[in-house]
Structure 1
Amino acid sequence: MSTKYKTSNPEGIYFLSMATVEWVDVFTRREYCQIVLDSLKFCIEQKGLVLHAWVIMPNHLHLIASAAEGKLLSHILRDFKKFTAIKLLTAIQENPQESRKNWLQWIFESNGKRNPNNDHQQFWQQNSHPIELDSNFLMEQKLEYLHHNPVKAGFVEEPTHWRYSSAGDYEGGKGLLPLVLIG
């Protein structure tokens, strides 16, 4: 059995990337970002997700996360992706302000039809590319990469200026989600 892209260490801390199909920009609207935030908070409070850092970009998100004792991160992520996909697809469909509704629906449906794991639509790319952060070097590298993602993309000048990120938490502020800081 392949161990590539698996959370094989139940006690490990992982860097995770979740991208929308076709890298389509969905998280350009606050209401869609809020669905992700609410879902992460639920997973923290009810499912045993331990969140260490996060960022939401227009077409993907990065997390540094682990699971509480007795929980499996792979199961938490599976449930998170399934739930958010349903909520986000519904929100897009029901949003009267969504000018890209037909185009987005076509993308999600065409990707869903090509994937035998889906019934109708596919929102997220299939896996989350987990990388176990088993050294301080890797932990610091991925934490910096995650927080500097919006800067590198040219959206902000400083990591703490990006609303949908835990960068402020690491500078002593109180962010949007409860975290267990690392480093």
Structure 2
Amino acid sequence: MSTKYKTHNQDGIYFISIATVEWVDVFTRREYCEIIVDSLRYCIEHKGLVLHAWVIMPNHHHLIASSTDDKPLAAILRDFKKFTATKLLTAIHENPQESRKRWLQWIFESNGRRNPNNTHQQFWQHSNHPIELDTILLMGQKLGYLHQNPVEAGFVEEASHWIYSSAADYAGGKGWLPLVLLE
């Protein structure tokens, strides 16, 4: 078993990438993004997640996060992914406006069948690729990368204009989620 991408240091701050299977674009609808935002808020308020920065892109999201002393970050992420997968799969299934419903369900079901750990569907890729941000330089690089992701993708001109991001918080505004800003 690989130990390269693990949250070994419970006091550490980590850059985390969470992607959909097949990199399928799901977060093109506001209601799906809001499931992620609401779930992050719940994890902050009830599970010990400390969120420093975040961005939701169409097929993945990045977090810079840590956890309180009594809650391992890996356990919080596991619970977050399990809950959001169930909630998102249900939202897709029940959304009468979802024109890609059959195609998305086929992708999630085919990935679930290939994975012996799943019983039906798989929404998220397994690894979060946590990278410990143990230097100021690395922290600054990952924070810049995270916030510039929507700009580099051509979605917005300014990072703070992407509403599903903490870039507005770092630009002096008020975003969606309570953060502990990096200095």
Question: Do the structures match in fold with TM over 0.5?
Answer: yes
* Other-structure match for 1:128: 128
Aligned pairs (5 A) from 1:88-127:
88-127=88-127
* Other-structure match for 2:167: 167
* Other-structure match for 1:35: 35
Structure 2 SS opposite 1:18: strand
TM-score normalised to the size of structure 1? 0.99
Instruction: Determine the C-alpha separation between the residues in 2 that align with 1:75 and 1:174.
Output: 28
Q: Which blocks of at least 5 consecutive residues in structure 2 are unaligned?
A: none
Two-structure CA RMSD over aligned residues (Å)? 0.6
Structure 2 SS opposite 1:168: helix
Aligned pairs (5 A) from 1:61-76:
61-76=61-76
* Other-structure match for 1:142: 142
Structure 1 SS opposite 2:52: strand
* Other-structure match for 1:155: 155
Letter in 2 for 1:99: S
- The total of aligned residue pairs comes to 183
TM-aligned CA deviation for residue 175 of structure 1: 0.3
Letter in 1 for 2:23: W
TM-aligned CA deviation for residue 2 of structure 1: 3.3
TM-aligned CA deviation for residue 70 of structure 1: 1.4
Q: Which blocks of at least 5 consecutive residues in structure 1 are unaligned?
A: none
Instruction: Determine the C-alpha separation between the residues in 2 that align with 1:131 and 1:137.
Output: 13
Instruction: Determine the C-alpha separation between the residues in 2 that align with 1:181 and 1:175.
Output: 12
* 1:24 and 2:30 matched: no
Instruction: Determine the C-alpha separation between the residues in 1 that align with 2:118 and 2:16.
Output: 22
Letter in 2 for 1:93: H
TM-aligned CA deviation for residue 23 of structure 1: 0.4
Structure 1 runs (4+) deviating above 6 angstroms are none
TM-aligned CA deviation for residue 69 of structure 1: 1.3
Instruction: Determine the C-alpha separation between the residues in 1 that align with 2:146 and 2:51.
Output: 13
TM-score normalised to the size of structure 2? 0.99
Instruction: Determine the C-alpha separation between the residues in 2 that align with 1:96 and 1:5.
Output: 39
TM-aligned CA deviation for residue 71 of structure 1: 1.1
Instruction: Determine the C-alpha separation between the residues in 1 that align with 2:121 and 2:83.
Output: 13
Instruction: Determine the C-alpha separation between the residues in 2 that align with 1:22 and 1:2.
Output: 22
Instruction: Determine the C-alpha separation between the residues in 2 that align with 1:90 and 1:170.
Output: 33
